[in-house]
Amino acid sequence: MENLTWTGSLGPLLNPLFLLAWAAFAVAVLAQILLSFVSGNPQMQGNALAMRKSPADWAGLAARAMFGLIVLVTLGYLVGGLLLPGPEAKGIIGTISTRLLPVWISLAVLFALSITFKRRLGLYGKLFDSTIGMVGFGIVMFWVFTAFYADMIATHDPLTQLSGMKNKVPGTAISGADDGVFGYYLLGGDNLARDVFSRMILGAWEVIKIAPFATVFAFMVGITLGVPAGYYAGTLDTILSFLANLILAFPVILLFYLLVTPEIVDTGLPTYMAMVLFIFPLIFGTVLLNSRYHTQPKFRNGIVAAFLAVGGLLYLSLISSNDPNAMIRILPGWLDLFDVPGNILVVFVSVVFVNSPTVFRIVRGIVLDIRTRDYVAAAQTRGEGAWYVMLWEILPNARGPLIVDFCLRIGYTTILLGTLGFFGLGLSPESPDWGTTINDGRRLLSIYPHPALAPALSLMSLVLGLNLLADGLREESLRD
């Protein structure tokens, strides 16, 4: 088999157009910058003073047109790759597009349903009125679906090493490939002859399964402590704020680095921290339900008991382990629903611990402002309890800033996970997570850039998508 080209049989048709569009785009952007110093001449049109389009405006229109052409040509590569037969005709881009077909279908269905029913979907529906928000949401969901379908998309096992494929360039054919084995390394091989494309795809799952859930737990801790601190103020606020500031006094990367070092892990400190931090969702849920249904004692007791039974089992399963050498073994094997690998638990706890103080300060500041509003005073006047006021009057009105910060914090967490992997800490050395893959590829970066480039661009695109999504949510929340 011959090696694949990037664009396959579409190259002779689309490559010149693609390069021409990029060149024209660069010229138009440069012209817009240079001509922006020349302002348009005001002219009278009837009784109104209008501004004639300046050369910079026309250059801007040209730049937007060329960018649209770039997008169309890129779509041509992707769609053409789906339609053409065989990897040789599809090329690397077309073959990757074909492997990602479940992702494209899922994105199309999700966007179609969301746009159709956006007026019934609250803040989420309003997101589709923002171009920036839609782009960010699309990028984020692309990686979420990629992680979900990772086993279907990946072409090889991420740990499999094939003879002769060490540091091979993208599109290299596998000589003598067995039946049932995909015949190419689409993005080349790394320094251990593993498939870079498969490691990039499966690395998305490593990020998606940690970053959002760790951020949720951090928010549970921050909200549970921040709401009463801002509402009651006084001594409680002073003590909690001091503890939060004490943690924030340490550089984030240094604190994160210390928590996952083997010496600290061997002391069992992360495990005991998990026992404390992971109980906050239970506390938050219990107080939330109790305050909501406190006027219906029988119903409240039943729903709180059911929540505690399910949540308690999940909590114990999370901190308990069936490993004979584990420090905490609470549940018998038949009752333990799942085991979290020790290295993932350490990273999870570290993320929650590092992010919780920042969330606490944000929540506290918002509550200090909202507690003076008239609707809070009205709820207090009609005799509502303090926790009802905090969780059902104040907290819902703080959702806009918190949702925006949640998206941004997932991005920060993704970067932290990548940093840990780059330093070789946290997840196992064989893990295909993006940070570890970048670290593996950097050693020969000047000679073979492709093993590090693919995961680096993936990490960058996910963080960019989260930031754009946060911008879109902020824009829409400000309109409420």
The model's pTM is 0.85
* 465 vs 200: CA distance, rounded Å: 17
pLDDT tens-place string over residues 351-381: 888 889 999 999 999 999 998 888 888 888 8
* 402 vs 359: CA distance, rounded Å: 9
Report DSSP state, residue 430. Answer: T
Say if residues 198 and 184 touch (Cβ distance below 8 Å). Answer: no
Helix 450-479 with 399-423: angle, nearest 10 deg:
170
Is residue 466 one of the residues assigned to a domain?
no
Is residue 276 one of the residues assigned to a domain?
yes
* 34 vs 42: CA distance, rounded Å: 20
Helix 342-370 with 234-248: angle, nearest 10 deg:
140
Domain encompassing residue 368: 211-431
Single-letter amino acid, residue 413? T
Is residue 328 one of the residues assigned to a domain?
yes
User: Secondary structure of 383-411 in the HEC alphabet?
Assistant: CCCHHHHHHHHHHHHHHHHHHHHHHHHHH
* 369 vs 385: CA distance, rounded Å: 19
First to last CA, the chain: 59
Is residue 362 one of the residues assigned to a domain?
yes
Q: What's the distance, CA 272 to chain centroid?
A: 27
Is residue 264 one of the residues assigned to a domain?
yes
pLDDT tens-place string over residues 388-429: 999 999 998 888 888 888 888 888 888 887 777 777 666 677
* Domain total in the chain: 1
Is residue 337 one of the residues assigned to a domain?
yes
Question: What pLDDT score was predicted for residue 220?
Answer: 93
Say if residues 73 and 17 touch (Cβ distance below 8 Å). Answer: yes
Is residue 155 one of the residues assigned to a domain?
no
Q: Which residue has the tokens 């009205």?
A: 378
Question: What pLDDT score was predicted for residue 425?
Answer: 67
Mean pLDDT by 10 residues, the chain (480 residues): 85 90 91 73 51 74 90 89 87 91 94 89 82 90 94 89 86 79 87 90 88 90 93 91 89 76 77 88 92 88 93 84 65 69 79 90 92 88 88 87 87 81 70 82 82 89 90 75
User: Secondary structure of 320-359 in the HEC alphabet?
Assistant: CCCCCCCCCCCCCCCCCCCCCCHHHHHHHHHHHHHHHHHH
* Residue 365, token pair as written in the block: 């500041």
Is residue 61 one of the residues assigned to a domain?
no
